[in-house]
Amino acid sequence: MEPWCYLPNPWRQALIDLPHPLASTLEEIRFRVDRPVYLYGGSWNQPLAHPSVATRLSLGDIERIVEVLVEHSLYARVDELRHGYVTISGGHRVGIAGRAVIAGGKVETVRQITGLNMRVARQIKGVGETVLRQLWVREGAGSWLLAAPPRAGKTTLLRDLVRILADQGNRVVVIDERSEIAGVGASGISPFEMGCHTDVLDGWPKPAGIEIAIRTLGPDIVAVDELGGEEDLAAVAHARQAGARVIATVHARTPEDLLGRAAFSQAWRQGIFDAVVFLRRDPLVGTIDRIWTQASAPLPAQVLP
């Protein structure tokens, strides 16, 4: 289901009434206090214009939207809020901007929410085939890292790779910390085709999920989104040592961005990943910028720590 179906009116109806060319290319809907609602596509943006929608949002409007998105149960979503988002059914992620409440040096929760960024999750079948072909020729079966800036199609590509590889008979376990890859959420059913041989560990933190997957689900491949720090990489290394392949994503625009981080640089040198696929947003979301493999593209000397 499209993410706007979970919004209250008048925004829901206004988005349902969008012309098809806009609705089909819509990537983000941004709600900001005292601003119009803005729609963003790959190469366009425009305010949401509808007779029933006010030109500016109030704080009360945002509160109402959040209340509906969290099903009137903020207490059940505080862990997600601490990380600055909530994921709604269908795997659509809603980023949240607001005042951080700090307790004990950590973000306790977010109050006075002033902005929401609703990202439309889509399944685009076939996007993984090109990547798979290129990687297979160069590297064969291995562990791959998909690196790209935000909104460049990492998760969409990962989802499709999971589907293709699982349908080829590989036992794939998806560690879906934010319910964004498979979009399982509270319903317990993925709205996306994830392949015949895929299990989803929904809501599990990445290190714990990888550990559980290795111990109990016997995966050929572990798929994980948005690797962060050393703990995540240690879990990936553990999966590799246990004999599983890993396909993961990470935020990075260039090799220098990626390997400038000591943990990733070390992981590359240790051979945890056999290839890194860099994606970019232009001319189209999900365009392959370059593919690095251990054999064909050794690290540039200047990024080695």
Partner 1 sequence: MMVLKVVGSALEILASLGVSRMASHPYQLRVSTLEEWQRLLRHLAPLIEWRRLPLGKALQEASRGLPHLQGAMVELSRELEKPDTNFREAWDALLRRQAGVWEDDRAALTALGQVLGASEASFQRDHLIAARADLERLMGEARVRLAKDGRLFPVMISAAGVMVVIMAL
Interacting residues with partner 1 (CB under 8 A): 5-9, 12, 64, 67-68, 71-76, 78, 108-109, 186
Closer residue to partner 1 (CB): 8 or 243:
8
Q: Is 162 helix (H, G, I), strand (E, B) or coil?
A: helix
Closer residue to partner 1 (CB): 75 or 302:
75
Six-digit token string for 248: 């993961």
Q: Least distance to partner 1 from the beta carbon of 130, Å?
A: 38
Closer residue to partner 1 (CB): 18 or 303:
18
H/E stretch holding 107 reads strand 106-119
H/E stretch holding 127 reads helix 127-139
H/E stretch holding 206 reads helix 206-212
Closer residue to partner 1 (CB): 67 or 282:
67
Tell me which residue of 210, 127, 144, 149 sits closest to 174, measured CA to CA.
210
Cβ contact 94:116 at 8 Å: yes
Closer residue to partner 1 (CB): 4 or 292:
4
Q: Least distance to partner 1 from the beta carbon of 231, Å?
A: 24
Instruction: Give the burial string for 251-287 (b: 16+ CB within 10 Å, else e).
Output: ebbebebbbebeebbbbbeeebbbbbbbbbbeeebbe
Strands 221-224 and 245-251, bridge-based pairing? parallel
Six-digit token string for 85: 């988002």
Six-digit token string for 170: 């590989």
Q: Least distance to partner 1 from the beta carbon of 183, Å?
A: 17
Identify whether 10 is preceded by a cis peptide bond (ω within 30 of 0): yes
Q: Least distance to partner 1 from the beta carbon of 147, Å?
A: 34
Q: Least distance to partner 1 from the beta carbon of 279, Å?
A: 34
Tell me which residue of 9, 14, 10, 8 sits closest to 26, measured CA to CA.
14
Burial of 95 (0-12, 13-18, 19+ CB in 10 A): middle
Q: Least distance to partner 1 from the beta carbon of 72, Å?
A: 5
Closer residue to partner 1 (CB): 23 or 78:
78
Q: Least distance to partner 1 from the beta carbon of 60, Å?
A: 11
Closer residue to partner 1 (CB): 109 or 265:
109
Cβ contact 185:91 at 8 Å: yes
Residues 292, 149, 272: CA angle, nearest 5 degrees:
40
Closer residue to partner 1 (CB): 185 or 207:
185
Q: Least distance to partner 1 from the beta carbon of 186, Å?
A: 7
